[in-house]
Structure 1
């Protein structure tokens, strides 16, 4: 059941030219999110300045409660902002959501247990009023891309946790989003399954050249997947450091044992420690 993602796409698989990475797709400026409370307001995000460019794989990492998911949800128009500005593909988050500019993968697979795997992937396409035959074709193609051909008629409860998350990824990719947002999609999985899915997701990202914004608690996961790592402080969440990865875009499992990987992981660890000390 642990089949790899297989990328079946007509899109170019060549490495992007530098100018292809120059266009901003997410731009947050002086972003603040404050939640009202009975005793005193909760300052979830503080003066966030972040620029994400086309084709980047950006991981948000920090301690629990630092606002990683809040920031992701703000970009996705799932949370309101208190002050500041956010643009997604030169639109407000609300306009980007209505334009279906992004796909979103939650921490849990959030599949409908009474629908088959194929029907789950077809659901957003059906909501978009795609013709049934077209929705069926797209859903099967996306399931093939995540290595789940042959499982179309299974139900979610018949799949492992890792396979359920692959169905979620296929569903998010079905609407052909320019940006894929992922909120700790592998956090509940065992280490072996998680590492396998990291490899498969990295391959899929590199082949399809989509922009990915990824929330994680794992230093190893952030280092392995990302072209840019955004380190956040404890609440009120702010950006402590943004680290551009020197690692090659094409990555294999043995990269985790390399000196470059170990050094980058230590940079992230030091930045996390710095964020704690400043509180």
Structure 2
């Protein structure tokens, strides 16, 4: 038997299969999906590191006037020399200033690249005297407590009496615990003032007492206490009161006293002496009807 020599077989290299255009496109998309987040993370890290190194606080620019000096304002902000300018929480810094320095009503903090913090502030100019549960305080127009007082203030644009509050401390806005469906005493005051401004009492209200929702009062021109009772029928009560104080033949423009407008049928005015005067024995209560008030 004749042996045949085995012929060595040549290694055949398999030919690579050429990808179609669609397959190549899908492959590029998959690569992009994988690499793009990595690139973004790397760039973000570089940006953060760069901002931390390049943009450091080196100084402050202050604009405003009031009782506080620049060092007090900067200290209250909590921002220090050397802090990263880009990482500063501006809103929190503003809140710290208005809370720690209550006489500042508004403050705006901005970044001024590359190394400066700009602080613009305004001191409260219009002040209210607010009495909460027997304790007087000065507040700004947003009812933030500026200063607690030992006695009733004199030179304020409005005096407001309120019941016991949940929050009543310098640097914080007065707040109350209110149940669902109930109205905050501050909202009651605002609604009462809004209704009064619709009458001829507008611009002459100098005080209010909403400490008892069933016995609301307003002070007119610093000399007449207007009793209104509960908020029910308040537009009619205020209209009656406005007509009474507007007519000088009903109530003289210099008289002091109390006007009872707790009912809509009639108002009763009882004259009183000024605090500096001795009460007169001849003072009597005057009855004023709605018709008389608008004559």
- What TM-score, normalized by structure 1, do the two folds share? 0.23
More helix by percentage: 1
Higher relative contact order (CA 8 A, sep 6+): 1
Rg (Cα) greater in structure: 2
